[in-house]
Amino acid sequence: MSPKKRGKIAVLISGRGSNFKALHDAIRTGKMNAEMALVFSNKEDAPGLGIARQRGLETLYLNPKLFTSREDYDKAVIHQIRKRDIDLICLAGYMRVLTPLFCQQFKHRIMNIHPALLPSFPGLHVQQKAIDWGVRFSGATVHFVSEEVDMGPIILQAVVPVLQDDTEETLAARILVEEHKIYPEAARLFFEGRLEIRGRKVFIR
């Protein structure tokens, strides 16, 4: 998108929302020229929704049980996003796999943060998987979302050491500190029009 326009961002969450907060903090402190137009959740009791409300942001919850299929649910979410003229969708601990329909509607305009160095350790419980493999380094990845889960073009990564006495919790906490740095940075690069996707690679201009 043009670097001059003030972009609109929607964040999709299912839980705590610390990455949503990091993104919003970057906007509040003027590090990113964007407006957070929607904080959406598939979980009514997601703590992140409460934080968003406290911050005066527009929030929305849609109950998946009221929809007959995953595609119908995603159609409703797409409608809400389109209504607000959103430029960038950030998945931040959104624990629902997007349907191909959703991915196609917003090609190269959906980002995700993942707590491992992709393509290693896609999926869930990846901090424990990194410990169990005995890798010396893990980290965080921000990538564009494609139909194949956790496999879209990589935008930014941060590396953290895996220590011998790490537990899932201690490693997750060390990775989270880096997540909160690279997610706002990736979104900022997007809104500055500096991300160019060629094939499966992202070039930063």
Is 19 a binding residue for ligand GAR by CB under 6 A? The answer is yes
Among 74, 87, 166, 179, interactor with ligand GAR by CB under 6 A: 179
Return the range that interacts with ligand GAR (CB under 6 A); candidates 23-31, 59-67, 111-119, 187-195: 111-119
Output the six-digit token pair for 139. Answer: 């980290």
DSSP per-residue string spanning 109-155: -EEEEESS-TTSS-SSSHHHHHHHHT-SEEEEEEEE--SSTT-SPEE
Is 146 a binding residue for ligand GAR by CB under 6 A? The answer is no
CB of residue 117 vs ligand GAR: minimum separation in angstroms?
12
Give the alpha-carbon dihedral of 80, 85, 91, 92, to 10 degrees: -90
Output the six-digit token pair for 145. Answer: 């979302």
Q: How many CB atoms lie within 10 A of CB 192?
A: 16
Is 184 a binding residue for ligand GAR by CB under 6 A? The answer is no
Is 15 a binding residue for ligand GAR by CB under 6 A? The answer is yes
Q: Where are the alpha helices (DSSP H) in the chain?
A: 18-28, 47-54, 70-83, 100-105, 126-133, 168-191
Return the range that interacts with ligand GAR (CB under 6 A); candidates 15-23, 32-40, 102-110, 130-138: 15-23
Q: Which is nearer to ligand GAR, 28 or 82 (CB)?
A: 28
Is 139 a binding residue for ligand GAR by CB under 6 A? The answer is no
Give the alpha-carbon dihedral of 97, 114, 192, 53, to 10 degrees: 70
Question: Of the residues 24, 108, 114, 125, which is catalytic?
Answer: 114
114 is catalytic: yes
Among 130, 176, 186, 189, interactor with ligand GAR by CB under 6 A: 176
* Site residues, ligand GAR (CB under 6 A): 13, 15-19, 48, 92-93, 113-115, 176, 179
